[in-house]
Amino acid sequence: MKIIQIDKGQWVSGLNQAAAAYRLFGPVKEKEFHSFKPLTNGLQPDLSCLNTRLSPKSIIYPQSEVMFDYSLDERREDHHQLMEIAKDYSPKAVVGIRPCDAKAFVMVRLNFDTPDYQDPYWLRAYESTTFIGLGCEAPCSACFCTSAGCGPYHEEGLDVLLADAGDRYLAKVMTEKGAAFMAAAGWKTAADGQADATLAGMRQAAEAKITSFVPTDNLRSLPNNDLYNATFWEDVSFACINCGACTYSCPTCWCFDIQDETRGTSGVRLKNWDSCMYPLFTLHGTGHNPRGTKLHRVRQRFMHKLKYFVDKYDRGIQCVGCGRCVRLCPVNIDIRRVALMMNGFAASGEACAIES
């Protein structure tokens, strides 16, 4: 691990140099919102953006990805055969990703890279990507990363962590991928001996600005069945319109569906994001739906994030505290409030008192 100093005057030229070896992505403002875009034709990342409206998960895991195409034309020798679509797995780098979003990829990997199953599309895209993170100096009011196993200068999942130190960036280089990116950008000036202390001070100051928390200490010991049958789910799910904004904006949500789309005699097989908030998600061919009401679906989302994941992986909750679902839910369903209810759930079956 070493710390490199990047004078801001060398920032743009370094990125332009790195672009010869990497496909660059970064936060870009479009109308009133930021989103991660390819940085082509001299486009620069807007590092003043605190958090993009949607997470950068689509850089690794596109919302809709064609895996195969096929022909149903019986005159063709290859009819009914699936042909794999060639993809570009050349090196890419995500510049200005926030620590919560980088950690989210590490969590999502638990699902896409198991001893029994590996998703080759997700894994190849992830492994060909270098993550150049930017510490958050002034976290949003809805951010609660420090109580979600993360933080404004968290390093897990990052190859380089940048800190904005006025006229320069301090770049903590943590992996070989990170070192290769810094070399490609031509940034090599070692920071002075104070850099470590400067970074630690910035981290501490940023963490002190987080004022929003989720309590999670009781979640592991609570019996699943008791929580599942708790009476508060009616209240939690009452206003939900099952729009799916919470799951689509979430960097740690990973559910997908495979669909074939056929036109005439040609077709494609797609992997599309899906959401546990949609009625079709669990609809059986028989017409039976085990999660047939919004209460079932809202409960599933929170039980998965705050209980099943905790029990299965013993790595905290399936949430990095980015606050997107809190900001974007049109009816103000707030995971912090639900965590408080679940965590405070007592053996008597009562949720702890909530101030609204």
Q: Which of residues 219-278 bind ligand SF4 (CB under 6 A)?
A: 240-246, 249-252, 277
Find the shortest distance in angstroms from Cβ 326 to ligand SF4: 6
Q: Does 319 bind ligand SF4 (CB under 6 A)?
A: yes
- Contacting residues for 93 by C-beta, under 8 A, at least 6 apart: 18, 22, 23, 24, 25, 129, 130, 131, 132, 181
Please report whether residue 333 would count as binding ligand SF4 according to CB under 6 A. Answer: yes
Measured from the CB atom, the residue of 52 and 71 that comes closer to ligand SF4 is 52
Residue closest to 249 by CA, chosen among 193, 198, 189, 320: 320
The beta strands (E) that lie in the chain are given as 2-7, 23-30, 33-38, 64-71, 83-84, 92-97, 129-134, 160-164, 168-173, 256-263, 266-273
Which among 314, 142, 307 is positioned nearest to 212, based on CA atoms? 142
| Shortest Å distance, C-beta 245 to ligand SF4 | 4
Tell me the window of 27-35, 45-53, 165-173, 317-325 that interacts with ligand SF4 (CB under 6 A): 317-325
Q: How many residues does the chain have?
A: 356
* Token pair of 260 as six digits: 């074939």
From the list 43-51, 128-136, 196-204, 331-339, the region that binds ligand SF4 by CB under 6 A is 331-339
Residues between 293 and 312 that touch ligand SF4 (CB under 6 A):
305
Residue among 17 and 242 whose Cβ is closer to ligand SF4: 242
The residue among 108, 95, 106 whose CA lies nearest residue 134 is 95
- State which of residues 157, 324, 338, 339 lies at the interface with ligand SF4 (CB under 6 A): 324
| Nearest-angstrom CA–CA distance, 191 and 1 | 12
Q: Which is nearer to ligand SF4, 180 or 240 (CB)?
A: 240
Please give the residue ranges that form the binding site for ligand SF4 (CB under 6 A): 240-246, 249-252, 277, 305, 319-325, 329-331, 333, 335
